Structure 1
Amino acid sequence: MTKFTLSAFADEASPVFDLQLEALKRNGIPLVEVRGVDGKGILSLTDEELDTVCAKLAAANIGVSAVGSPIGKISILDDFAPHFEQFKRAVEIAKRFGTTRIRMFSFYMPQGEDPEHYFDEVVSRVSQMVDYAKANGVDCCHENEKGIYGDTLARVQKLHAAVPGLRCVFDPANYIQCGDDPAVNFEALAPIIDYMHIKDALSADGTVVPAGEGDGSVPAILKALYETDKPYILTLEPHLFDFSGLQNLQDEALSHKRVYHTSDEAFDTAASALQHILNSL
């Protein structure tokens, strides 16, 4: 049977790194996808700050599943050279944390234009990053995000076919918000999925809900993964609370079905929902 290993974007519990570690520990989550630390984006940390983070991770016995970078979250029309320098920093940070994964994206498309007009440039940029990362023992893990080139099934498939070394991150809620059916997409992408973001949503309006309460087919997808012989990392990404730094991660405001009084409460609710699904497998 598959062995799932849990990770999380713990900055959704608190911007304070010490409190992130506490949230992971109380929910029995052994890994973190590092994205925000003490109010700073992961790529903005100095070497000294990274040393402190590494020491705290070691003391808490928490590992790093991936660097939750914002790489690729710029317009395809923006200058790539300075962004590639940021990417190199992400690679160094991944190596420092002892992880082989960098979460990244495939560039925002100009509104009102056909994304296919920019396919060659997307492939060029992503290929450069994949090649540089692999030369340094690191993998680029592409997340399907609304508004980037690789946001729908057809374009995700086309991108991965063009850049075989690119890893696939599967996010059900993001597909819902693009009008896709995650169950259909999972069946098509299952052979290349590297790991999964646990985030669910309602197809009617894109409202984000705890895993299993939406239309993301999360229980069925996890059951299918469970029945394989491959180990998977499941990274909890609740998006149930307007956590600190969200405005820097996406342009749209979150829509929620329920009200949570604190980010900790929302994070714990999301973790509990995932554990409920896993316990039923």
Structure 2
Amino acid sequence: MRRELSFAGIGDEAGTRLPAQVAAIRRLGWRQLELRSVDGRALADLGHDGLRRVESAIRDAGVEVVCLDSRIGNWARPITEPFARELHELDELLEWCEALDTRFVRIMSYPNAELPEDEWRHRVLDRIRRLAERAAEADVVLLHENCSGWAGASADRMLELLAAVGNLRLLYDTGNGVAHGYSGHDLLAEIVDHVAHVHVKDAVLVDGEARYCIPGRGEARVADSLRLLLAHGYRGTFSLEPHLTAVPHQGRVAGDTAADSFVAAGRALERLAVEIPR
């Protein structure tokens, strides 16, 4: 018997406001949402009132929140970022996790800031260990994404990070390899057994820059990655992050046509998945 796959989407790729995010997920017939920002603001900046408003809307919509995407360790927060700010963001998101019954928080592993390699490594391992311990107290698991930071593009460093830090799993993004200059599929082959969550996007490289496209039409080997994950028993969620309109690291937010593009990307993801034996 073919098992059903689990799909979700990062809502602010479909619209800045929560109703637009939920509506796009419903158009796809999905019931799972991943949250990064609402009304153009990161979750950790919305405060208690914002949390209660979002919580109420999520419950009324009957959708499940599968992951919260933090800014911890991302492209805008180098290793010299004050650690107190990172702890504050995590504490805010742990409150969100409890309210929304969510177990996963996405992090990255800190770009360098002209520190020697050994010191950069030491600080990254120390910070993520302390963050993971804090999350464990709330029964929340941190997910490290193959994006910015010390372990962003290296399977060996990801595995070293996992060995050094308890309560940490990996988040694999299918399209990040194209954007960051490495083979994402080759990296996945080395870390596949440690992946607990997946982001799906695709891209082509044009004049040295990634241009994002519908899943399956680019150079990211999305179908091959899905096939590899399923062959290794992956049972987590495939969460759509197409970057067709909204690209946070470029300062681009979801525009008027974002929902239509998001839904088109979601349909393409479903078609790719249907063709994979399981």
TM-score (norm 2): 0.89
Give the corresponding residue for 1:71.
72
| 8 Å contact from structure 1 (residues 3, 226) kept in 2 | no
Distance 2:251 2:71 in 1: 18
Q: In angstroms, what is the RMSD of aligned CA positions?
A: 2.0
Q: Which residue of 1 aligns with 2:123?
A: 121
User: Equivalent residue for 2:174?
Assistant: 172
Moved more, 152-161 or 271-280: 152-161
1:222 aligns with 2:226: yes
Equivalent in 182, 189, 198 of residue 200 of structure 2: 198
Cross-structure match for 2:14: 13
**Within 5 A, what are the aligned runs for 1:49-198?**
49-73=50-74, 74-110=77-113, 115-146=117-148, 148-153=149-154, 154-198=156-200
Worse-superposed segment, 153-162 or 10-19: 153-162
How far off its partner does 1:114 sit? 5.7
Alignment CA distance shift 1:114-1:277 (3 Å): farther
Higher strand share: 2
Q: In the alignment, is the contact (CA less than 8 A) between 1:151 and 1:178 conserved in 2?
A: no
1:151-190 alpha-carbon deviations (Å, 9 max, x no partner): 1123323322322431100012112222211121111011
The alignment partner of 1:168 has SS state of: strand
What does 1:194-273 align with in structure 2 at a 5 Å threshold?
Answer: 194-203=196-205, 205=208, 206-241=210-245, 243=246, 246=247, 249-250=248-249, 252=250, 262-273=257-268
Q: Separation in 2 of the partners of 1:178 and 1:96? A: 35
Contact 1:3 1:231 in 2 (8 A): no
SS for the counterpart of 1:202 is strand
Aligned-residue offset at 1:116: 4.4
**Letter matched to residue 172 of structure 2:** F
Letter in 1 for 2:275: S
Aligned equivalents of 1:128, 1:183: Cα separation in 2: 30
Structure 1 residue 224, shift from structure 2 partner: 2.5
Structure 1 letter corresponding to 2:105:
I
CA distance in 2, matches of 1:264, 1:86: 28
Matched, 1:275 2:276: no
* 2:151 alignment partner, SS class: coil
In the TM superposition, what is the alpha-carbon distance from 1:68 to its structure 2 partner?
1.3
The sequence identity of aligned pairs, in percent, is 24
Cα 1:183–1:136 shift into 2, 3 Å: same
Give the letter for the 1:109 counterpart.
N
* Equivalent position amino acid for 1:190 in 2: V
Q: CA deviation at 1:229?
A: 3.9
Q: Which stretches in structure 1 are left out of the alignment for 5+ residues?
A: 255-259
**Distance (Å, rounded) in 2 between the aligned partners of 1:229 and 1:168:** 15
Cα separation, 1, equivalents of 2:52 and 2:85: 25
Q: 1:239 to 1:116 in 2, by over 3 A?
A: farther
Q: Report the secondary structure of 1:105's partner residue.
A: strand
Cα distance, 1:130 vs structure 2: 0.4
| Offset from partner CA, 1:47-89 (integer Å, 9 cap, x none) | 2222221221122111000111112221101211232122111
2:259 and 2:29 mapped to 1: Cα distance? Answer: 14
